[in-house]
A and B are shown apart, each in its own frame.
Chain A
């Protein structure tokens, strides 16, 4: 496909302008291409073009062993990397029957919620940035640095924590870390209140209230998930509905935040308040953290051998909603099939819906409120756009080619 990101393309109809919003656009850090049709300032139609970050991770993973695949799925995305590995290891554990210790499960939960805080703060910052409020953006991201520091202390990296391993976690929590986490939580709680106030500021309010409304029934029809759904009053949350890791024990400390309005502000507020819930969960985790080892004694090769042939589906609630993995192992330490269904993929479907009828100025804000991070979303068939032909590469050929390239 020829680059059209910043090029003009005037439609036949003379007042109807086709703008390519992305894939290279400063408002979006990720390449998504929205073809927006506008009349004056009003959006009349939207087309979503995906696939710019398609890296073929699923088929790559199928060509590698489980230990390698674990780090590969982590790199599906840098924002909810822990969700991906948790989901993946959960599936493997289900297939093999390896039970992680209680402590490991609690630690997984801890990182999970920290990740949720970091991800939500990131999004709030982006929202502020989209409406041109740089100071608030700087502020939220500065608060976020605290969480990242803790990640770095606990796991050794700010983004890709590499926390999970088959049957447990790799890094333990020391008492000093607990203390520091505790202090940090208090600070974040205070900042959240400040951010909440700032988001109710007049100019921000003008840019978010009543925009991009996705009503309840439509939200259900379009299968949106996560905060996007909860902003429209759809009461779903994997953490409560299908508890995994240590969430079964956490039921009483967190509530599912719901807002009815379904507009940009509602979605933003859901995220804001979810941070507070996450803080509660983390406090609980620190409180109850069981003793014990964090990972099985055996080394990774033994563990891989223990995983017999089988398949499993695993679900987690990533910061952006329900993340689903289907894993099929081949019993020889490899994967036969990996399928990832990511939250943004479900959420994007509603974009067209919420954008039509709004102004160009609202596009980035609304798009950001869905929180589309697309590294995980870019998938699906290979379509050769130059000649429009649909080119579905068969699994085997693909795998063969992949192997060949990998060997070089």
Chain B
């Protein structure tokens, strides 16, 4: 498929897929709590409803930033998702590599917290500072895990070339090298924090600071924020599945010829990843405190990602 066409197709598809994923996540979460839970299409209903609601801007907010930031956030996470998706769909790259995608995702989180703290609510302010500490904690291992790829196997950091590399080996990256297995582990451990779910939902802890930076957003703004978060989660899981666990590579060259099938397999894998890294932790764990979360990230994922860099430097 032509890269540009793929990109254009990805833009509407990625939010749809993300919301679907979110719905599945919520359903599974409920089932694990012995409940029936909301319908799988619930996030769509939520979105429609929120879009149709009144727009309220709190009097204490600095209006412009408060209004614009959710859009910025959604745009950047959408862009990140579309780049990734179009890479998988067309197996070619028009713009940007892994670093750009990760950057766009971070951008989308930052835009949200900046917008939220422009509301002037003290809870948002606390959420802001918490999110920043959390980002420092997880972004670094995440980035290092990705960069370790450049030291080692892959010729470039473009997603399509990483996929090609995996296909040419006939094995997903995790299986082919020890260093990549460590990097994948670090990356997966960072997903719950990046998606900010329990135990790392510290920046928006409902019972502590009432959603933190989201507190003053309502109606369409909240809808945008929700979409942005949901696309972000989706992109993270899809990213993990595409660069570390590209299962279609087991099919060999056929994977590149039959891109639709590959995408489907990839989505299945990312659904599994979502289940493991998002649904399960938020079901069976309690929320940590900032200090504890920082400690966790400084110890485990950081060590993992550093060792993966060292190992890939010595070509293991």
Contacts and interface: CB of A to CB of B under 8 A. Distances in A.
Whether A and B touch directly in their complex, counting CB atoms under 8 A apart, is answered as: yes
Interface of A: 6-10, 17-19, 25-27, 38, 40-41, 128-136, 138-139, 142, 201, 203-204, 206-207, 359-364
A24 to B, nearest CB: 9
A132 B287 contact: yes
A207 B210 contact: no
Contacts of B34: 138-139, 142
A17 B124 CA distance: 12
A138 B282 CA distance: 13
Contacts of B129: 40-41
B286 A6 contact: no
Given A19-B122, A138-B35, A131 B210 contact: no
Contact of B126 (A10, A18, A41, A131): A41
Most chain B Cβ neighbours within 10 Å, of A38, A131, A204, A361:
A361
Interface string B108-150: 0000000000001111011001000000000000000000000
A268 to B, nearest CB: 13
A132 B287 CA distance: 5
Contact of B123 (A19, A134, A363): A19
B121 A7 contact: yes
Contacts of B205: 132, 361
A165 B287 CA distance: 45
A38 B286 CA distance: 24
B122 A203 contact: no
Contacts of A135: 32-33, 283-284
Most chain B Cβ neighbours within 10 Å, of A8, A25, A201:
A8
10 contacts: A6-B123, A17-B126, A27-B207, A135-B33, A135-B283, A138-B33, A138-B34, A201-B286, A203-B285, A359-B290
Interface stretch (B78-86, B155-163, B194-202, B267-275): B194-202
Contacts of A361: 202, 205, 208, 287, 289-290
Nearest to B287: A132
Contact of A363 (B32, B121, B208, B210): B208
Nearest to A25: B210
A360 B208 contact: yes
Given A41-B290, A131-B287, A134-B33, A364 B208 contact: yes
Interface string B269-311: 0000000000000111111111110000000000000000000
Given A6-B215, A41-B126, A360-B208, A133 B60 contact: no
Given A8-B60, A27-B207, A203 B35 contact: no
Interface string B16-35: 00000000000000001111
Contacts of A128: 286
A130 B289 CA distance: 12
B286 A10 contact: no
A38 B123 CA distance: 12
Nearest to B33: A138
Given A6-B215, A203-B285, A207-B289, A364 B207 contact: yes
A95 B167 CA distance: 89
B209 interface: yes
Contact of A207 (B35, B120, B201, B286): B286
A46 B292 CA distance: 24
B206 interface: yes
Nearest to B60: A8
Contacts of B123: 6, 19
Nearest to B210: A26
Contacts of B284: 135
A203 B291 CA distance: 13
B203 to A, nearest CB: 11
B208 A133 contact: no
Nearest to B199: A203
B204 to A, nearest CB: 11
Interface in B18-76: 32-35, 60
A133 B286 contact: yes
A231 B289 CA distance: 24
A6 B288 contact: no
B33 A26 contact: no
Given A132-B207, A203-B285, A17 B33 contact: no
Most chain B Cβ neighbours within 10 Å, of A38, A128, A134:
A134
A133 B208 CA distance: 13
Contact of B289 (A6, A38, A40, A359): A359
A206 B292 contact: yes
Contacts of B202: 361
A203 B296 CA distance: 12
B285 A27 contact: no
Contact of B198 (A132, A139, A362): A132
Nearest to B211: A26
Nearest to B125: A17
A41 B283 CA distance: 26
Given A19-B122, A361-B208, 14 more contacts: A6-B123, A8-B60, A25-B210, A27-B208, A40-B129, A132-B201, A133-B198, A133-B285, A135-B33, A207-B286, A207-B288, A359-B289, A359-B290, A361-B290
Nearest to B124: A8
B215 A203 contact: no
A301 B65 CA distance: 69
Interface in B154-196: none
B287 A6 contact: no
B201 A206 contact: no
A199 to B, nearest CB: 10
Contacts of A136: 286
Most chain A Cβ neighbours within 10 Å, of B32, B120, B121, B286:
B286
A359 B126 CA distance: 11
Nearest to B283: A135
A138 B34 CA distance: 9
A10 B122 contact: yes
Most chain A Cβ neighbours within 10 Å, of B198, B208, B282, B287:
B208
Contacts of A38: 126
A201 B287 CA distance: 12
Contacts of A8: 60, 120-122, 125
Given A135-B284, A203-B288, A130 B207 contact: yes
A94 B189 CA distance: 65
A7 B60 contact: yes
A47 to B, nearest CB: 15
Contacts of B286: 128, 131-133, 136, 201, 203-204, 206-207
Contacts of A201: 285-286
Contacts of B283: 134-135
